[in-house]
Amino acid sequence: EEGTLFTRAYCTSASCSPSRSVILTGLYSHANGQYGLRSDVHGHIYTLPNMLRDAAGYYSARIGKFHIGGKEAFDFDKVYKSSAVINRNAAVMADSVKELFYSKKDPFFLYFCTSDPHRGMGVVEDHPLEPDKFGNKPDGYDQITPVHFDEDDVIVPDYLPDNKAVRAELAQYYESVARMDQGFGKLFQYVKDAGIWDNTVIIYISDNGIAFPGAKTNTYEPALQLPCIVKPAKGMPAHSSDALISWVDITPTILDFAGVLDDVNNEIMNSWRINHDPYKSTNKGLQGKSFKDALYTERTSPDTVFASHSMHEETMYYPMRVIITEEYKLIWNLAHQIPYPHASDLWSSATWQWAINQEEYRGNPIKDYTDRPEFELYNLKQDPWERNNLAYLPGYEEMRKKLHLRIKEFQENTNDPWLVKWVHE
């Protein structure tokens, strides 16, 4: 009711650890070192809590799922205790952090991360298809009123096949989302009760797309295009924006709200990174741009965003580099010679096992999903669910080459180790 809904907001990698590292550094994961789940950010990386404290005297705290390697680089002043079960209950998490709102620690930055709606906590064993529980428990959670969904009534997004397995898992997924929603309502009420709602900025996002085939760990729209609602410090009428923004822009935007974006960027460019950056990048500042102005004006953002996925876990290596414009998207599958690797929880899911049994996914042979061409070019305005690859069709070669060269420029400007893939070009 008081925020801006960004309808074209993108993460840079649909994998939790790389995505979270981007959110808290303003650098792409290939530049900060968090290539996949078990990587660590480079030791010299300057992170958001440190930037806010050094430049503006912010007190920083976090609670819930962190899942970034090299935690010592993220020097939060306070880490609230939690657990795998607590991280599924945003209401209890809100109880834990509410003291911060009354503590007179002003200004403060709170990083509040639930584990919902991630897959996990087993499967529904008494269901014939054994769908993932998505953290749901038969006895429910403290302070949460369970919201159950009928499999026959759930909305199946256009990018997923409509079958019993998908419906069974979506019913569990939506219940997890509903639980999270109640917890956030409680968190926001605590902020209001403390009398600081009007001067608190809230940024509500997800780290990656829904954990279903075609989304999480991919670079298709359901993987990258995510929820983003921003409530600025002072209330304003609800509205939406189609400005193109990216999670690499989160850190610059927060610094902009704090009034220290230029100071931090200059510090990084002039001293800190020059002395510590082993790649000697030509771009030594933050790699994202603030989208603060987009909350108040029609369009202020660039007409292009980029995505960079390298791997989920080490055994799931499949680097992809992506450019997204107002109309087109080009996906460059750098390791197209090998089959696309599933994350383990997606491979074992009822949804994918159904596809294996049927030997097809979304009406096509499974091979079409796992064996991908080097390039995928889509017209997002005409083909929003990316069903028609234009990359090798007559009349599109020039567009493909043009966007491919822009990816190269992006790699050069962001310390991308995979730039070596151009050695024969």
Closest CA to 103 of 120, 78, 126: 78
B/e letters for 87-116, b = 16+ CB within 10 Å, e = fewer, are bbbbbbbbbebbebbeeebeebbbbbbbbb
Q: What is the DSSP letter of 1?
A: -
B/e letters for 148-182, b = 16+ CB within 10 Å, e = fewer, are ebebeebeeeebbbeeebbbbbbbbbbbbebbbeb
* Alpha-helix residue ranges (DSSP H) falling in 120-243: 164-193, 221-224
Q: Judge residue 310's burial from the number of C-beta atoms within 10 Å of its C-beta, 0-12 exposed, 13-18 middle, 19 or more buried.
A: buried
Q: How far apart are CA 83 and CA 260, in angstroms?
A: 34
Which residues are bridge partners to 328 per DSSP?
379
Closest CA to 203 of 291, 99, 334, 130: 291
Are the beta carbons of 158 and 385 closer than 8 angstroms?
A: yes
Q: What is the DSSP letter of 197?
A: G
Say whether 175 sits in a helix, a strand or coil.
Answer: helix
Q: Which of 11, 16, 113, 228 is catalytic?
A: 16
Residue type, 18: P
Are the beta carbons of 261 and 56 closer than 8 angstroms?
A: no
Q: How far apart are CA 365 and CA 355, in angstroms?
A: 9
Residue type, 44: H
Q: How far apart are CA 61 and CA 49, in angstroms?
A: 8
Active site residue 16: yes
Q: How far apart are CA 315 and CA 217, in angstroms?
A: 13
Lookup result for tokens 């304003």: 236
Q: How far apart are CA 268 and CA 48, in angstroms?
A: 12
Q: Which residues are catalytic?
A: 16
